[in-house]
Amino acid sequence: MKTTFSEKQLAFVPLLGLWQLLRPVNVLIGALSIGIGAWVTGTLSPAKNVLLACLSGGFITGAANAINDYFDIEIDLINKPQRPLPARRVSPSGAFSWSISLFLLGIGLSFFINTPAIIISGTASLLLFLYSWRFKRLPLIGNITVSFITGLAFLYGGVAVGRIQASLIPATFAFLFHFGREILKDIEDISGDRAENARTFPICCGVRAAKIVITAVFILLILATLFPYFKNIYNGLYFAIVLPGVDAYLLYVIWAFWKSVEPTHLHKLNTGLKADMLVGLLSILVGIH
């Protein structure tokens, strides 16, 4: 892999850099998603399976973040030079080894849950590696892949307690939310992606087309969030949180990115969306009858 600095300059891999590669907030969200995927089925039993699934998913999420930074080091030198690899806090070989170790640990824990869990963890790990290696640079394919995997997190929780059907609603929310956010991130990173000849959707089809797709996806998501309340699947407390806490912010994001696609502006929107995920998880958690 081509890098702009010598690995010989790095005598060791700092623990802080490895921790930052995980992106702990994302790891927490991934683990919580799996736990909530189990919770919404109406049970957290067997608790051992739920705990193992959350730990497994957390390790796989961290591995995915690390391998993504490994393959994106040249792009991040332009777009996000503060990250551990371009900032030289971690060596490329260290990041790669760290990622593979976490993937294996995450898959290994699934062997103590059940066979469907092994299939999901193995499939997610393979797709996440392929996403960072190839799919991310293909228009829409990469966006769909990572969004599908985020939905799998909820299904993983459902599988852990043997009740996958009840986890389908949050899995659908997660897919739509991340699909829109992933394309928005592609617009934010367009300069670095162009420099690396990445074929993302905004580059291939234009920023305006990307805006239209994001708008359609987020509007569909807003409508989808109303479904479980009006179908009496989730209670009024869910509705009271999701309407102002999630849907209102999604409408603001739509307005904001049509107004400006300046990278720092989009970065703030994406950071807000990350926080909005936690609000969405909370609304589901308290909304179960």
Q: Is the bond preceding 46 in cis, omega lying within 30 degrees of 0? A: yes
Q: What is the pLDDT confidence band of residue 242, given thresholds at 50, 70 and 90?
A: very high
Mean pLDDT of the region 40-65:
93
Q: Where are the domains positioned within the chain?
A: 14-286
Q: What angle do CA 71, 77, 83 make, to 5 degrees?
A: 80
What mean pLDDT, rounded, does the chain reach?
89
pTM of the predicted protein model: 0.80
State the distance between the two ends of the chain, measured CA to CA, in whole angstroms. 52
Q: What is the pLDDT of residue 40?
A: 83
Closest CA to 177 of 267, 288, 278: 278
* CA 255/CA 281 separation, integer angstroms: 24
Domain 14-286 in CATH 3.30.1280.10? The answer is no
pLDDT per position as a tens digit, 262-285: 999 999 999 999 889 889 988 988
| % the chain with pLDDT above 90 | 63
Q: What is the pLDDT confidence band of residue 10, given thresholds at 50, 70 and 90?
A: very low
Q: In degrees rounded to 5, what are phi and psi of residue 115?
A: -65, -45
8 Å CB contact between 240 and 179: no
pLDDT per position as a tens digit, 88-144: 888 888 899 999 999 999 999 999 999 999 999 999 999 999 999 988 778 899 899
* CA 254/CA 180 separation, integer angstroms: 10
